[in-house]
Amino acid sequence: MNYDLRIKNGQVITEDGLQRVDLSIKDGKIAQIGKTLKSDTASREIDAQGQYVLPGFVDPHVHLNDPGLTNSEDFYTGTCAAAAGGITTVLEHPLTFPLPDNLKAFEEKKEIGKQKAIVNFGLFGACSASNEDEMEKMLESGAVAFKTFLTYSPEIPKLDDGQLLERMKFLADYPTVLAIHCENNDIVEYCTARLQAEGKTKPEDYPDGRPEIAELEAVSRMCLLAKATGCSVNIAHCTLKEAVDIVCETKKQGADLSVETCPHYLVLNRSMLPALGVFGICNPPLRQEERVEELWNCIFDDKIDWICSDHATYTIEEKMAGKENAFLAPAGVTSLELCYQLFFSEGVIKRGLSLEKFVALTSTNAAKRYHLYPRKGRIAVGADADLAILDPNLMWTVNDENLKQMIKWSPYHGMQVNGKITHTIVAGTEVYNGTDILAEKGSGTFIAPEGKVD
């Protein structure tokens, strides 16, 4: 047989563990794992000697700002950054204009993605006050999940508890997930107003405006509603061990829950805010260093389901609106390209996380939760040939100017990283070679949950 691509000499992470085998790819699928016949040929080969061949990373929490906010990111630049970080599938959240809480806006956004993306992309729909009929239509059109906020957001209206209860009852009848930004809005508004009245408006003051109790109370409340309604719920960007423990305990009681965290809550901490300034402002905020270590313990204890970037970029001018008052800075950090390379460096190299757990947390678990598995999230014959090749011996330093995202800033500039993506392959085609983006704009594919049309 003539294969399209053969990856040889790599250490491949399959569902059976680490194997030193070759991979052969045909028509966008993994066609062979292991030795091929002498008569078999390949149109192209990649020598992965000394490197790990991993399932392409699945980032289930990404903000690409397209349409409506494309002065800071769009589907092309964002998916270029994803490809440079080994991410072969992004699930884009609905904080865009027009708000995709209806079929028309959802379909328009899908078409924009098809014209620009260079990796696989799925779309969250927005869960708004009275859009049950539209959510059903979006599910039929391939919505991967829905998103809502418990705090004020300029892009998507927050729901009160009564509205949220009704939406959760509705969604409980469908095989989909509701992702929730969990902070108590009353506590946040009160604490933020008090600090500003007292003149405490520096970046290092910002976390006091969104104290830990705001997250803990909201997570507790959403776990209770998930248990009562049967709705499948994902707790977004969790920062606290206590919140993770609440999720785990409620899961034991039968609730359908998952919980994620992000690299900024595992690598950064509150003491860094004077140096990071407005570029360290995010919601929920950075926590104390001891909280970071507690979160790592949750990862090793298998209490966290996956790692996501929560990539949310703004222009430098937009961020600098908070120069004199940090509460005026738009909240969000950039990490799409860096997310899983940082996690590998900090988790596998520094702390000894197993490669099997790394793969589960960066690909398999999210693919399963959002009904993309078994096409995504694994290396197996018949699975999509979405792969990330990572050299664990390469040490490099983050330089914001070299990032593929549209606006060149991150909170990680100057940080040393152990392990680098050298090749990213989407549907059997190399889209990134360790330095350059090779794919054409619009070569990516819209991906829907299993059983839905794209």
* Residue-number span of the structural domain to which 97 is assigned: 57-370
User: How far is residue 23's CA from residue 6's CA, in Å, rounded to a whole number?
Assistant: 6
In a domain, 344, yes or no: yes
In a domain, 177, yes or no: yes
The pLDDT value recorded for residue 235 is 98
Strand order in the sheet with 17-20: 17-20, 11-14, 52-55, 387-397, 416-426, 429-432
Average pLDDT over residues 297-316: 98
User: How far is residue 436's CA from residue 1's CA, in Å, rounded to a whole number?
Assistant: 30
User: How far is residue 236's CA from residue 182's CA, in Å, rounded to a whole number?
Assistant: 7
User: How far is residue 293's CA from residue 385's CA, in Å, rounded to a whole number?
Assistant: 35
CATH of the domain at 297: 3.20.20.140
285 CB neighbour count, 10 Å cutoff: 25
Q: Please, are residues 376 and 386 in contact by the beta-carbon 8 Å criterion?
A: yes
The pLDDT value recorded for residue 155 is 80
Q: Please, are residues 367 and 376 in contact by the beta-carbon 8 Å criterion?
A: yes
Angle, CA 419 vertex, CA 415 and CA 423 arms, to 5°: 120
The pLDDT value recorded for residue 453 is 43
452 contacts: CB under 8 Å, gap ≥ 6? 139, 140, 141, 142
- For the segment 66-97, what is each residue's pLDDT rounded down to a tens digit? 999 999 999 999 999 999 999 999 999 999 99
Q: Is the dihedral of CA 120, 11, 348, 233 positive or negative?
A: positive
In a domain, 425, yes or no: no
Strand order in the sheet with 5-8: 29-33, 23-26, 5-8, 45-47
What letter represents residue 155's amino acid? E
Average pLDDT over residues 270-299: 98
User: How far is residue 320's CA from residue 283's CA, in Å, rounded to a whole number?
Assistant: 17
In a domain, 432, yes or no: no
In a domain, 117, yes or no: yes
Tokens, residue 163: 């509205």
Nearest to 170 by CA among 133, 125, 142, 143: 133
- For the segment 415-441, what is each residue's pLDDT rounded down to a tens digit? 999 999 999 999 999 999 999 999 999
User: How far is residue 132's CA from residue 111's CA, in Å, rounded to a whole number?
Assistant: 23
The pLDDT value recorded for residue 451 is 55
User: How far is residue 192's CA from residue 215's CA, in Å, rounded to a whole number?
Assistant: 14
Q: Count CA within 13 A, CB hemisphere, residue 273.
A: 22
Task: Give the confidence band of 129 by pLDDT, cuts at 50, 70, 90.
Answer: confident
- For the segment 36-63, what is each residue's pLDDT rounded down to a tens digit? 777 889 999 999 999 999 999 999 999 9
Q: Report DSSP state, residue 423.
A: E
29 contacts: CB under 8 Å, gap ≥ 6? 382, 383, 384, 385, 428
The pLDDT value recorded for residue 176 is 98
Task: Give the confidence band of 452 by pLDDT, cuts at 50, 70, 90.
Answer: low
Secondary structure (3-state) at 319: helix
Q: Report DSSP state, residue 258.
A: E
Average pLDDT over residues 175-181: 98
In a domain, 383, yes or no: no
Nearest to 50 by CA among 20, 10, 86, 7: 10
In a domain, 295, yes or no: yes
In a domain, 393, yes or no: no
Q: Is the dihedral of CA 250, 207, 178, 73 positive or negative?
A: negative
Phi, psi of 385 (to 5 degrees): -85, 65
436 contacts: CB under 8 Å, gap ≥ 6? none
User: How far does CA 207 lie from the centroid of its chain?
Assistant: 22
The pLDDT value recorded for residue 157 is 85
One DSSP character per residue, 38-64 reads TT-EES-EEE-TT-EEEEPEEEEEE--
Question: How many structural domains are present in the chain?
Answer: 1
User: How far is residue 38's CA from residue 26's CA, in Å, rounded to a whole number?
Assistant: 17
The pLDDT value recorded for residue 276 is 98
- Determine what percent of the chain is predicted with pLDDT higher than 90: 95
Mean pLDDT taken over the chain: 97
Phi, psi of 142 (to 5 degrees): 105, 15
User: How far is residue 302's CA from residue 297's CA, in Å, rounded to a whole number?
Assistant: 9
Q: For tokens 């899961």, what's the residue?
A: 251
